[in-house]
């Protein structure tokens, strides 16, 4: 290779490296959005109770068979239960931060509802899922449920609770009409 050509290539290489951006390295790694502390995007029974009361509803906190918090309330004279899952193990049930929840409403029927009716509901309703359940006492229960996931979403747990509570409130009214429960 001619000396002039080597000199041109060497100069081009130096210029190419000089054009690269300077990358600074932080002294400590920065947390990613996914590994942020578990604070605002968790739900607690106290958040649920405070929002229920602000909307004019009462609520009672208890724990299920596994020790997870649950809140019972009434909508239009019918019981609804809000189960909290993926919760911290320690502390008062009201204060434990939980990763997700389920709204549940069940209605004991004299007879069942056809699978076609339930399938039609589930096909037409996007968020609330309905199903039949045969209880140990032989009674048939029509159930409506909505699951809500909070953990690591960055969502405001109180705001999400209110939105899904309103959705469930409307869905249970429609569901009771569907199953002719009054």
> Do 83 and 97 touch, CB atoms closer than 8 A?
no
CATH of 38-178, one of 3.50.50.60, 3.30.465.10, 3.40.190.10, 3.30.1460.10: 3.30.1460.10
With a cut of 80, say whether residue 87 has pLDDT above it: yes
Cα–Cα nearest to 78, from 141, 123, 159: 141
> Do 96 and 88 touch, CB atoms closer than 8 A?
yes
Q: What is the mean pLDDT of residues 37-44?
A: 69
With a cut of 50, say whether residue 160 has pLDDT above it: yes
pLDDT the model gives residue 80: 96
Q: Where are the domains of the chain?
A: 38-178
Q: What is the mean pLDDT of residues 110-124?
A: 89
> Do 87 and 98 touch, CB atoms closer than 8 A?
yes
Q: What is the mean pLDDT of residues 124-150?
A: 91
Q: What is the mean pLDDT of residues 4-16?
A: 43
pLDDT the model gives residue 176: 94
pLDDT 10s digits, 58-67: 999 999 999 9
Type and span of the H or E element at 16 = helix 3-19
Type and span of the H or E element at 148 = strand 140-149
């Amino acid at each position: 290779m001619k000396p002039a050509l080597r000199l041109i290539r060497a100069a081009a290489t130096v210029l190419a490296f000089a054009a690269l951006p300077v990358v600074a390295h932080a002294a400590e790694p920065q947390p990613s959005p996914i590994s942020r502390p578990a604070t605002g995007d968790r739900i607690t029974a106290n958040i649920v109770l405070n929002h229920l009361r602000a909307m004019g509803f009462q609520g009672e906190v208890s724990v299920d068979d596994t020790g997870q918090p649950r809140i019972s309330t009434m909508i239009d004279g019918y019981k609804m239960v809000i189960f909290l899952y993926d919760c911290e193990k320690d502390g008062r049930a009201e204060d434990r931060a939980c990763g997700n929840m389920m709204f549940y409403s069940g209605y004991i029927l004299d007879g069942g509802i056809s699978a076609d009716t339930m399938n039609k509901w589930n096909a037409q309703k996007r968020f609330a899922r309905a199903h039949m359940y045969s209880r140990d006492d032989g009674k048939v229960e029509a159930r409506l449920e909505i699951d809500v996931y909070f953990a690591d979403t960055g969502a405001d747990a109180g705001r999400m609770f209110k939105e899904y509570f309103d959705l469930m409130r409307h869905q249970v009214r429609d569901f009771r009409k569907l199953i002719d429960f009054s």
